[in-house]
Structure 1
Amino acid sequence: MEKSAVEKPVTKHSLAAEGLAVGYDQRQIIDDLSVEIPTGKITVIVGANACGKSTLLKTLARLLKPSKGTVLLDGKSIQSIPTREVATKLGLLPQSPTAPEGITVADLVGRGRYPRTRWIRQWTKTDDEAVAQAMTSTDVLEIADRPIDELSGGQRQRVWIAMALAQETDILLLDEPTTFLDLTHQFEVLDLLVDLNKRDARTIVLVLHDLNQACRFGDHLIAMKNGAIVAKGNPDDVITEEVVHDVFGLHVKIIPDPVAGTPMVVPLGRHTTRTDRATDIPATSAADVPADPSASPASADPAAGNPAAAALAASAAANGVCRPTDR
């Protein structure tokens, strides 16, 4: 039976890592890390700053060479595959990309087609269509003639994403793609990635800081701490109160997202309950905050429950400690 003209064959390029050890300037960031990226899914890497998220992404993209272990693209060491061939299968949007001075939006997005051109294959209508589609998807078509230097941070980020899309790879890696974007454009970009995943079965790996966005848009989550994987799997298994506290050092409550039904992270900070908003807070919420073992019982504090008395007590304590003559 003849295939439909709009039907696109589904490719199944695979990406994995075995026993990775990666570092900078004699400092080890990742040690003995192995991971398999689910093919045709959206994987989100989460973790605190400097935990190794970007290092892992760069190593998977062959920007960093591991001192030990290997990255496998379609079961072969990525180091053994020609650069141009890698670029037709795997695309990367780094965290802080740079562009030549004065280059326009259309020219930059067009450079995403570089891996698919040869000296015997010049620019074609297919390339035009890919670039136009990428710019339309990211809402930058109207600024195609403007220099990158004149754009806002959010506009630049969308242009870089358009360039990655124009590359038309089956695996797309993005390091914090929502940086600099306002809330509306953050969701537009994440919705776009879901569209790409559903339409082309594209494998997408991205680093995000927002755990709620990670849960809503990710099929598979990887939580990292100190260069190691702490948990991996679907959002319900990875984003638990215990894992979030272990990875971020933050006490949270996990509730169902009222829109998506995925885990929703509600942080419990020192000012979770505000005395000036007490009437708006459920009576049980204060009891859910983890107890501070260093705190004294309320009954032992004569100022407990009396803001005026507490303020006077604090003032008296400060007067006895912070006098300039005592320093």
Structure 2
Amino acid sequence: MAFPIVRHRRLRQSAAMRNLMRETVLTANDFIYPIFVTYGTNIREEIGSMPGVYHLSMDLLEAEIRDIVSLGIQAIMLFGVPDHKDAEGSSAYDPNGIVQEATRAIKGWAPELIVMADTCLCQFTDHGHCGVVHVHEATGTAVVDNDLSLALLVRTAVSQAEAGADVIAPSNMMDGFVAAIRDGLDEAGFTHIPILSYSVKYASSFYGPFREAAHSTPQFGDRKTYQMDPANSREALREAESDVVEGADMLMVKPALAYLDVVRQLKESFDLPVVAYNVSGEYSMVKAASANGWIDEKNVVLETLTGMKRAGADMIITYHAKDASRWLRGEE
């Protein structure tokens, strides 16, 4: 049947009717909020390219955590900015490193809050790459050594779990990283700790502001030999399938906005929860447009996050989480 018997507008006549018909519902339970912790005291330093996002020292972290909990946000993604970097990123797996120290403190302040620890070396290496760099003697070419990197990533994951992390979230994109970390966690007695794998992480141009925030810009070359080509989606399914076989508990697509087709593909292809990372560049574009009066920030953010969930995301990592949670509660 068609018009005039079928009139689609009948189900849009009022706010109450639209609420009844709504297919996708966004709540604070969907959000994971990224936090950047650094050394020092009395540091609440706004990141220039990410208005409203801060480097926080440990002495100011508790107030931030309590604000997050009060908004109904149930999970954070923890990133650390160390005071020491070296070729192997040893601060990443230091039992007294910034991520480990922050994790212990957060679990003391808010034991119910899920702490997800980003498991990578890029913030901790002096070269800014996500693994160990090996220089071939014959050619002088520097490459990220996949298998040598795995051992350090396992040490990092176990160290984070020992500090109290609830979820290990490896973002390094080394081949075999999920299997290596799963084995390492299990051997260390952490069989109950889930792995949120950055399964599909593209070599994206949307990461610029994050690299400022995490001080993780590569000092040479790029990450295209281990992060994915933005043109590929079948490859995303192969990457995700490998992680499923190796023991991942959740699968991530990063970035989100330009890759919602990939989010949908993972949702339809696997029975694990899918996480979308609404990355720094996506956040910064909205903030810049809003500051110029070109868009309504609240409505654009909520529409964007709803679109990610509609595409199939079960969870969304987003720097908008605090604002979005307030807006969903009716606060301005």
Same fold (TM over 0.5): no
The TM-score, its normalising length taken from structure 1, stands at 0.32
The TM-score, its normalising length taken from structure 2, stands at 0.31
Which structure has the bigger radius of gyration?
A: 1
